[in-house]
Structure 1
Amino acid sequence: MNSEYVVRLDGEPMRFEADVDPEQIGVKAARLAELAREGIRVPEGFAVTAKAYREFVHHAGLAPTIAQEIRRFRAGRDLVVAAAKIRSAFCDASLPAAVADEILDAYEELGGDGTEVAVRCSPVASADAVQDDVFLHLTSGADVVAACRRCFASLYNAVAVGNREAEAIDHLKAVMPVTVQRMVRADVGGSGTARGENTFVRVRASWGLGEPPQADADLYSVHPGARPLIVRHRGAKLTKTVYADPRGTRPVPTTPAERAALVLTDEELQELARWSVVADKHFRRPTTLDWAKDGHTGELYLLEVRPGVAPAVTIRSRGRAVFQPSASRLR
């Protein structure tokens, strides 16, 4: 379904009925949607649009509260206190019925109550720092609606307010889209990153959730092509991060078998390498892909696309080596 307040991010097959607009669904969601169009697997889900955020702020009459607390901050009130006052007003307000109904309808399309989803902020502007606010393994429509409201409120954490002040951005024009997607059970599978470096794709992988530390992870170099070359380095993988009730995470020791095994098969490495090549070509920039492997289905999923820093390229000029770094920002 696509509407004023909700845009579907993927489908089977990967088709989109609406234009992918970062101003409406946020940069993170837009990048995922663009690559899903290229055939890369992303978790099924939907985006709650910037228009939904604006309707919420208007319906709840939050603009005067925002303006008042910003004036108080500029007059000397502590930034943390002023930002907290605004967030409290957001969390105390109810979403308009039309917005809540569309969110609930979209969640019902994913399977409804009992279907595990993750709810994430998807900022439009880099100044709107949200410190990776994410609400994991939610299993009811009511929880999804509440998490969307909390994501809206995160637009007024102290860091985001301070950033907009420093950049002279109008707070009342800021928006916060939200992404809702099926949970990928990486806690019983694996996760990591992939990024292109010259002719190789470097993949980092570990058991469980999150980006693994380089010293602890499996490291792979994959040369994509008809005759792929794969170099493997098995990491120690001493711990992994798993989901923990109520909706949190916790580290646990890995088993001897997990420490001895490689996280990814050659076929999976080739798939991740292909994704990395597609992403770099699509965005015309180096990218870093955050991926996860669902431990129940065995499928790989793209979770996030981030600007990646290209390695320095050695250019031979009259017998001398010159190092020329590439640009690193996504469009």
Structure 2
Amino acid sequence: MNTEYVVRLDGDFGSERIGVKAARLAALAGEGIRVPEGFALTAAAYREFVRETRLDPLIAQWIRRFRAGCDLVVAAAEIRSAFRDAPMPPAIAEEILTAYGELGGDGTDVAVRCSPVDGADGVQDEVFLHLRTGADVVAACRRCFASLFGTVAVGNREAMGLDHLEAVMPVTVQTMVRADLGASGTARGESTFVRIRATWGLGEPPAGDADLYSVHPGGRPLIVRHRGAKLTKVVYADPRGTRTVPTTYDERMALVLTDDELQQIAAWSVAADQHFRRPMALEWAKDGVTGSLFVVEVRPWAVPTVTIAARGRSAAVPWHG
């Protein structure tokens, strides 16, 4: 469903409407790259929530108190508390529940994430995992709205002279990828190669511990493999957190990705660079239940620069993405 308040992640909607992270994923989905199925709650939904619940005067009041000497932590906490206590307007809640129903409804695991329009104000990237009911999804969306008034975010907007009442917070809802039972990693183009890191479980793999692959995509692909130690992995922990556990001997000895999977990720990396017309870093995940690969985040990255020190010496700035 694509409405004023909810849009599916399958096209080019623009970051002003659904936030930077969601807009990038939606654009890649429109290019045929596999991203977790889901939807975005738009900036218009946030504005309607604030209008319907009459939060504007309360926000303005606490900002005035802060400027008059009230502790920033206290002022920001009071605003967040008001957001969390306010009911979701029925029209927005209905659209959230309808979109969640299209993903499978109650019993379907989803993740709810903030999708800031501009990360410059330091909004905390709230993530709520393993939500399995429509009520929990609606509540998590409301908590994402509230995160717009984290202490750091409020302080940064004040320092930059930005209007707190003009700030918005879109939200992304996507089906869970069971990378805890599979694998995850990063990919980015580097000259004619795509460099891929991979590890078992969740999250971005640490340098030096993960498998490292260099893939030259094309009709006759060239793949260079380096097996990492992979001593630990991150898995989901009840009820909604994560924990680090040791890997098994077989996991440490095995390579995480097959050649076909490496070529798929490399092709996605090239397609992302071409779509955004600049080098991009991908975060990917492999579902351990279905075996499917997904791109779960895409962001720009700076190409390593070479500086000339003296008498022909040069040094490359390493990538830490």
Instruction: Report the TM-score, using the length of structure 2 for normalisation.
Output: 0.95
CA contact (8 A) 1:128 1:155 kept: no
CA contact (8 A) 2:124 2:147 kept: no
The answer to whether structure 1 residue 255 and structure 2 residue 248 are counterparts is yes
Q: Which residue in the other structure is 1:35 paired with?
A: 28
Q: How does 1:217-256 map to 2 (within 5 A)?
A: 217-256=210-249
Q: Which residue in the other structure is 1:94 paired with?
A: 87
CA displacement at 1:324 relative to structure 2: 9.7
2:2 maps to amino acid: N
CA displacement at 1:114 relative to structure 2: 0.2
Q: How many residues align?
A: 315
Which among 196, 203, 224 is matched to residue 189 of structure 2?
A: 196
Deviations 1:258-308 (A, max 9, x none): 111111111111111111111111111111101100001111100011111
Q: Which residue in the other structure is 1:48 paired with?
A: 41
Q: Which residue in the other structure is 2:67 paired with?
A: 74
Distance across 1 between alignment mates of 2:45 and 2:161: 24
CA displacement at 1:130 relative to structure 2: 3.0
CA contact (8 A) 1:191 1:210 kept: yes
1:2 maps to amino acid: N
CA contact (8 A) 1:117 1:183 kept: yes
Deviations 1:44-87 (A, max 9, x none): 00000000000000111111111111111111222111110100
CA displacement at 1:215 relative to structure 2: 1.6
2:141 maps to amino acid: C
CA displacement at 1:314 relative to structure 2: 8.8
CA displacement at 1:129 relative to structure 2: 2.4
1:232 maps to amino acid: R
2:241 maps to amino acid: G
- Secondary structure of the 1:301 match is strand
Distance across 2 between alignment mates of 1:70 and 1:240: 43
Q: How does 1:268-287 map to 2 (within 5 A)?
A: 268-287=261-280
Distance across 1 between alignment mates of 2:204 and 2:307: 29
CA contact (8 A) 1:5 1:52 kept: yes
Which among 143, 151, 163 is matched to residue 170 of structure 1?
A: 163
Which among 136, 142, 145 is matched to residue 135 of structure 2?
A: 142
CA contact (8 A) 1:198 1:311 kept: no
Q: How does 1:2-13 map to 2 (within 5 A)?
A: 2-10=2-10
1:93 maps to amino acid: A
CA contact (8 A) 2:117 2:168 kept: yes
CA contact (8 A) 2:124 2:153 kept: no
Unaligned runs of 5+ in 1: 11-15, 326-331
The answer to whether structure 1 residue 105 and structure 2 residue 79 are counterparts is no
Q: Which residue in the other structure is 1:115 paired with?
A: 108
Distance across 1 between alignment mates of 2:31 and 2:315: 33
Distance across 2 between alignment mates of 1:166 and 1:214: 35
CA contact (8 A) 2:83 2:146 kept: yes
The answer to whether structure 1 residue 297 and structure 2 residue 295 are counterparts is no
**Once the two structures are aligned, what percentage of the paired residues are identical?**
75
- Secondary structure of the 1:187 match is coil
CA displacement at 1:312 relative to structure 2: 2.5
CA displacement at 1:167 relative to structure 2: 1.0
Distance across 1 between alignment mates of 2:267 and 2:104: 31
Deviates more, 1:279-288 or 1:140-149: 279-288
1:117 maps to amino acid: V
Unaligned runs of 5+ in 2: none
CA contact (8 A) 2:144 2:171 kept: yes
1:228 maps to amino acid: P
Distance across 2 between alignment mates of 1:150 and 1:55: 15
CA contact (8 A) 2:124 2:150 kept: no
Q: Which residue in the other structure is 2:175 paired with?
A: 182
Distance across 1 between alignment mates of 2:51 and 2:125: 26
- Secondary structure of the 2:165 match is helix
Distance across 2 between alignment mates of 1:158 and 1:4: 30
* Cα separation, partners in 2 of 1:322 and 1:283, compared to 1, 3 Å: farther
- Secondary structure of the 1:83 match is helix
- Secondary structure of the 1:123 match is coil
Q: Which residue in the other structure is 2:209 paired with?
A: 216
Distance across 2 between alignment mates of 1:198 and 1:132: 31
